[in-house]
Structure 1
Amino acid sequence: MASTSEGALRPAPRGRLDAGAAAMMVVLCACWGLQQAIVKLAVADGAAPLSQAALRSVGATLIVGVVVLGLGRRRGFVPTGTVLPGIGAGLLFALEFALLYTGVSLTTASRAIIFLYVAPFVVAIGGHLMLPGERLGRWQVLGLISAFAGIIAAFADGLFAGGGSLLGDLLMVGAAIAWGATTLLIKASTLSRTAPLVTLLYQLAVSAVALPLLALAHGADLAIPLTTTVVLSMGFQIVIVASLSYLGWFVLISRYPASRLSAFSFLTPLFGVAAAALILGDTLTPAFALAMVLVAGGIWMVNRPG
């Protein structure tokens, strides 16, 4: 049972996204897409992606942990019954990264992105079966299909190119399932009735242990070069992405239907492509415009009123 102080932290759940929530999701997706280009800049300076992910979790755990300890003096800030689902969410988050980085090494980047974005379907189907008030309607299904078609359009050039493997593709599907399962676990458990900061700390703390071990197992060097680019990149990832944007995500998850929020995640790889064009000089193709139309239309269909 949630305490009185906890209830004051968390407004009553809502059945439909309002303009503020939609705008916040767009900002979050833009932030996550920008991270893709920022990570590539740091890779060019010698910081392996998995090393960056591990250090990001460690750094953000320290920041969020200090904040939670400070707020922990408030009675009821951390309700009982959240430890097991919290650890479970953290393990699923770490499993997602383990499957993702192994899968990416065995398939092409385009195929990896396409198969990873099976995740919103996992959330939508799981929510339909498990979560009251998240039943899928015809428009929601069509919207998800439209948005996924947009991702395929954006990365179609690499879909049938050489370099992929069935094992790599299956691992990326596994990463998508772990990603979706994390969202469903948070939404269906006592974590949905606790402060988003606590949920975030659970996920970060478990991943702060698991990801460095995973990085070392993959032969990644945690002693990354401290160039200006790498330091700025890690600062962005730790403070903006892992601490603030993930907190924003958990705030939204605690208040709105997971399936409607997850539809916005299709924007993330498109923002990543746009950021790569702006920062790294990559070329945008006409397929990108088609992808934006399909994804935007799909998000509207998933969240349309009525």
Structure 2
Amino acid sequence: MSYIRSASLTSLAMLAFAGNSLLCRAALKDTAIDAASFTSIRLISGALILWLIVRSRQTSASGAGNWPSAFALFAYAGGFSLAYVSLPAGTGALLLFGAVQATMIGYAIRAGERLLKLQVLGLLLALAGLVGLLLPGLSAPPLTGSLLMIGAGVAWGIYSLRGKGSGDPTRVTAGNFLRTVPMAAVLSLLLWQNTQLDSAGVAYAIASGALASGIGYAIWYTALPLLQASHAATVQLSVPVIAAAGGVVLLGEPLTLRLLVASVAILGGIALVILEKPQPAQARSQ
């Protein structure tokens, strides 16, 4: 029974994460909404739904968030939206996921963890896949959008690292989302001349913030205690695949050979790195 519950919750969370890419790309491709307005509405909607979730639980768990983490969250959301002005859903999700994992793996190495030979091979394979995806050519994704999405992934990786051990994850995320609201307001004010809104774009942004982000994160944090650490890391490999499939089926995006090969290299390489957690250098020397 617990296996069914963990599998169901995990599947819903991965669908929600992939849904963020699909909703954002659909809004910026097929509606009139601008990227800054999408970001602001998404963050405000996410803050509201997470606040309601925390209030409904009425637990004594600790965690309130902080401004540096909120800024990293805002940088992720802003870069994410701006990147999806030009990137297909699957490509964007792949770049985002690769940058998140690379940031976290890089931090682990800097903190003293040592990779095994197979893990070094995986890291090189993932890097080669990223280079191959971005090389100039007819099917190469736009460079500006790619760099924005990589920056968004780095910001999300920093946000994830800062959130470790800082209290109840849902409460912390709610607090950080609330802190992004004034940042989103400033962004919208700075770019008010580019503001464009329509009902469909606003609906996509609300769905992205309230459902795919707010409720999606709450579901994920409920599922995490039921998963082993390695499983929690590897199951996220499914997100770019789901996003790419959704982009093809729902948004009519092409599935190129370059994206397929790069996906296998990047996701396969990261899987080699995270399937077996490396030991800290001090532990290995004892």
Aligned to 1:96: 76
2:125 to 129, 134, 146: 146
C-alpha separation in 2, matches of 1:21 and 1:154: 34
1:274 is aligned to 2:253: no
C-alpha separation in 2, matches of 1:144 and 1:123: 12
Going from structure 1 to structure 2, the CA distance change for 1:104 and 1:272 (only over 3 Å counts) comes to closer
Q: CA deviation at 1:199?
A: 1.6
| Residue segments in structure 1 that go unaligned for 5+ positions in a row | 1-17
Aligned-partner residue type, residue 125 of structure 1: G
1:33 is aligned to 2:33: no
Identity %: 20
2:46 to 60, 76, 96: 60
**Could you tell which deviates more after superposition, 142-151 or 43-52?**
142-151
- TM-score norm. by structure 1 comes to 0.67
Aligned to 1:70: 56
Q: CA deviation at 1:186?
A: 0.8
1:126 to 107, 110, 121: 107
Aligned-partner residue type, residue 249 of structure 2: L
Aligned-partner residue type, residue 137 of structure 1: L
1:91-140 Cα shifts (integer Å, max 9, x gaps): 211133445566778xx748987765333121112134449xx6543333
Aligned-partner residue type, residue 124 of structure 1: I
Match of 1:282, SS state, is coil
How many residues in Structure 1 have an aligned counterpart in Structure 2?
A: 271
Aligned-partner residue type, residue 126 of structure 1: Y
C-alpha separation in 1, matches of 2:253 and 2:147: 28
1:226 to 187, 193, 199: 199
Q: CA deviation at 1:141?
A: 3.6
Going from structure 1 to structure 2, the CA distance change for 1:266 and 1:142 (only over 3 Å counts) comes to farther
1:62-93 Cα shifts (integer Å, max 9, x gaps): 12212222333x3x32x2xx44x533211211
Aligned to 2:179: 206
C-alpha separation in 1, matches of 2:8 and 2:274: 13
Q: CA deviation at 1:279?
A: 1.2
Q: CA deviation at 1:247?
A: 2.4
| Residue segments in structure 2 that go unaligned for 5+ positions in a row | 278-286
Contact 1:36 1:272 in 2 (8 A): yes
Contact 1:96 1:174 in 2 (8 A): yes
C-alpha separation in 1, matches of 2:127 and 2:192: 34
C-alpha separation in 2, matches of 1:160 and 1:268: 22
C-alpha separation in 2, matches of 1:25 and 1:244: 13
Aligned to 1:215: 188
Aligned to 1:242: 213
Going from structure 1 to structure 2, the CA distance change for 1:22 and 1:234 (only over 3 Å counts) comes to same
Aligned to 1:195: 168
Contact 2:230 2:275 in 1 (8 A): no
Aligned to 1:6: none
Aligned-partner residue type, residue 35 of structure 1: N
Contact 1:60 1:238 in 2 (8 A): yes
Q: CA deviation at 1:53?
A: 2.1
C-alpha separation in 2, matches of 1:48 and 1:28: 27
1:181 to 150, 158, 161: 158
Going from structure 1 to structure 2, the CA distance change for 1:58 and 1:235 (only over 3 Å counts) comes to closer
Q: CA deviation at 1:294?
A: 2.8
Aligned to 2:281: none
